[in-house]
Amino acid sequence: MTDAAPPFRFTRESRIRIDADGHVWHEGERVLHEGLAKGLAAWVDYDDATGRYVMRNSLDWCFVTVDHTPLVVRRVIPRDGALDLELSDGSTEALRPETLRVAPDGAVYAYVRASSLLARFDRAAAFALLERASPAGHGFALHVDGRDVPLMMLAEGETPPPRPADRPSTSGGEGGTRTPAPLITVTLYTRAGCHLCDDAKDVLDAVRAEDPFALEVVDIDGDPGLRALYSEEVPVIAVAGRKAFKYRLTAQELRARLARERCP
């Protein structure tokens, strides 16, 4: 299977838009298919050279319009003293508390995908996070990972930049600059009630938080062909369109496979 393609052809300038709530739109219509919307959101990135958001997979890329932030935090999940974030692209990753930014109106932001993209917390997620904060000096701090992390407050009307200031830039786009390097796509073939699938997703999310790749999650029971092919093997994990693992994988195995794909 090759890298999944959207049901419409990419062009460099597109009419794909991500609204302030993290919903994906195409040609003025909201993408209502949940899997497709999450898959498209997983392809979004920021191109430093052009100062624009792009959507890319291993086949193609295009510029996209982002109304506010490219990703939205839907849920804050406590985990053994740490906090995980569930994002609008369907992925889950550990919160990096030092990347948090809080606006005077209570809007909360954090950098995700190894600090490569800015995400805004939706109202419920922001409330769940801020109720864990405590007064500290002239501001507030969040107790996470066994330590108190001061919350960085934004000025009135200030919005964090698309990338943190200390993150190395990448180049892309056109006009003499390098096209954004495509992310490797990892596809998880899964089904409801599959505990091994849940374990595999946890491994994928943990590795993706440090070593970004595009993640596609496919329920085989929604496709008779996939169900016939993988019914006895889920979870199945494909890397760059090639079957790589079934049943179980470790973070070390996945990192090694990603490294081989990047340096064949």
The pLDDT assigned to 125 comes to: 96
Angle at CA of residue 213, ends 210 and 219, nearest 5°: 120
pTM for this predicted structure: 0.61
Strand (E) or helix (H) holding 153: strand 152-153
Q: What is the pLDDT of residues 44-78, one digit of tens each?
A: 999 888 889 998 876 678 899 999 999 999 999 99
Q: Is the dihedral of CA 135, 133, 165, 67 positive or negative?
A: negative
The pLDDT assigned to 174 comes to: 45
Give the largest Cα separation in the chain, rounded.
61
Question: What is the set of domains in the chain, with CATH numbers?
Answer: 71-153 (2.30.270), 184-264 (3.40.30.10)
